[in-house]
Amino acid sequence: MRNLTILEQVRWSIYKAGGPWIEFELIPMQDEKTFQLLQKGDTLGIFQLESEGMKQALRDIHPTHFLDIVAVNALYRPGPMDFIPVYARRKAGKEPTNMLHPALEPILRETFGVIVYQEQIIQIASVMAGFTMGQADLLRRAVSKKNRQVLEEQRAAFVKGAIKQGFDMQVAEEVYALIVRFADYGFPKSHAVAYSVISYQMAYLKAHFPLSFYAALLSNATGNVEKIQQLVSEAKEKGIPFYPPSLKRSTKFFTVEKDGVRYSLSGVKGVPHTFIETVIALRQTNAEAFDNLFDFAVALSAQHFKPKIMESLIFAGALDYLMKDRAVLLATVEAAHKHAELLRPTEDIDIASATAYSFGKPKYMEAEAMPQKEKLLHEKESLGFYISAHPVTEERTFWNEVNMTCRELKREREGTYVKMIGMIEEVKKIRTKKGEQMAFVQLQDEFGTVSVTLFPQVFQLVQEFLLEDELIYLEGTLERRFGKSQIKVKHAQATKKLGN
């Protein structure tokens, strides 16, 4: 249900951004761009297909037809996932598709001889043993419940029926054994098809309308900082710009704006929905009030203009459009609140009456400009990540040696020697069998994250700097594990910690 809602939200986002109205039932089911996205495992945010294991299964199977997606959805579960490599090799022509009998060919052709669906059991029992659909369904149930007594009874009935149909007894025994072996995990094809239609439609929208896709997914991830970071990071890797939240332009959802995505007001910590609704309503009646902090405070009334909420918005960059330094805005909030309390303490007071006897508005307070490091730290606190800039971006300018970012890592060959700067997100220290310390570190830059391995020799040199938010320069060899980039570090050194 949630994913059907997301599909609808993406459709409206596309339409509001000036795109076409998408009729889902008219989406071409053999769309090249969609299959390219699936083949790469570019499926973050796509129903049923976004786990790392599923991404790898898609890369292995290399779907070229809708039925491949159906098969992946059915196979990717404990048990049947063992047959994903078989399906992939046979589909690629690297392994022959052997059928125990030609009669099975029309039933198992689309799944390359692998029993994937419960419906295939019913078909085999009907074609080979002459079972009625009701009898065949009893066999399906016995298999799925692993009821040994019923399975033995069904085996006798299956073999007897197959011989009666003119099949060889040995073939009948082998086919029955195949049913029991594969169909332990048989999945209803009807179920897999229904799921896969949603998977395909989401993949189509992601391939053709990425801005609206990310905006809808981010709106649904509000409150889930980790999910938002994943989506923003991936979108940035694809060159999609993000605009900070804006009191003047943002809504309670992420929205498509120009060639990028505008951050929502709901995504700012400490900003309640009632405040957002009041702000959006105010835009319709008094848009000019947003051009000055004092006018805005009065238009909103002291009842809604709360210093704590305003501070969160200032830290997030939502008032940057006023062209005042964030430190100036923070210093002015209290004065603006007092101004509102004096003229319009509650929203019940008519704004025209409130401002009728006003003798001008106060001026912005003076304050020393907020340092970039402080600005970014507050930004991360209020949004969960850096949006206007990233500490790594600035630091990288001082290092001529750097030749790589997280965005480029995905395109590089395994074995490439990389030199990069990142910010430490997480450190996991372990001891080797020899008792030496080493560490696995999650490193981030403005384009994403990468896992790096620091073996004992390198670890000793930098262990005191392995702290969260520490900036670190490293060199090492690029490797791939389960389709993800990893770096085996040969050399590392601290640069400077954010805030120094």
| Residue range 352-375: mean pLDDT, rounded | 85
Q: What is the pLDDT of residue 499?
A: 42
Q: What is the pLDDT of residue 164?
A: 94
Residue with token string 């065949």: 136
Cβ atoms of 269 and 381 closer than 8 Å: yes
Percent of the chain's residues with pLDDT above 70: 98
Residue 495 has pLDDT above 70, yes or no: yes
What's the CA gap between 428 and 437, in Å, rounded? 10
Q: Is the pLDDT of residue 143 over 90?
A: no
Considering only CA atoms, which of 343, 361, 363 is closest in space to residue 298? 343
Is the pLDDT assigned to residue 79 strictly greater than 80? no
| Contacts with 189 (C-beta within 8 Å, 6 or more apart), sequence order | 70, 74, 116, 117, 118, 119, 120
pLDDT per residue as tens digits for the range 4-61: 999 999 999 999 999 999 999 999 999 999 999 999 999 999 999 999 889 999 999 9
pLDDT in tens, 306-348: 999 999 999 999 999 999 999 999 999 999 999 999 999 999 9
User: What pTM was estimated for this model as a whole?
Assistant: 0.82
Q: How big is the chain, counted in residues?
A: 500
Residues 458-474 as b/e (b if ≥16 CB within 10 A, e otherwise) read bbeebbebbeeebbbbb
The Cβ of residue 356 has, within 10 Å, a number of other Cβ atoms equal to: 9
* Cα–Cα dist 120/212, whole Å: 39
Q: Tell me the average pLDDT across 261-274.
A: 94
Four-residue CA torsion sign, 274, 275, 280, 281:
positive
Helices in 62-188 by DSSP H: which ranges?
66-75, 84-91, 105-108, 118-129, 133-145, 148-164, 169-182
Confidence (pLDDT) at 498: 45
**One-letter amino acid for residue 116 of the chain:** V
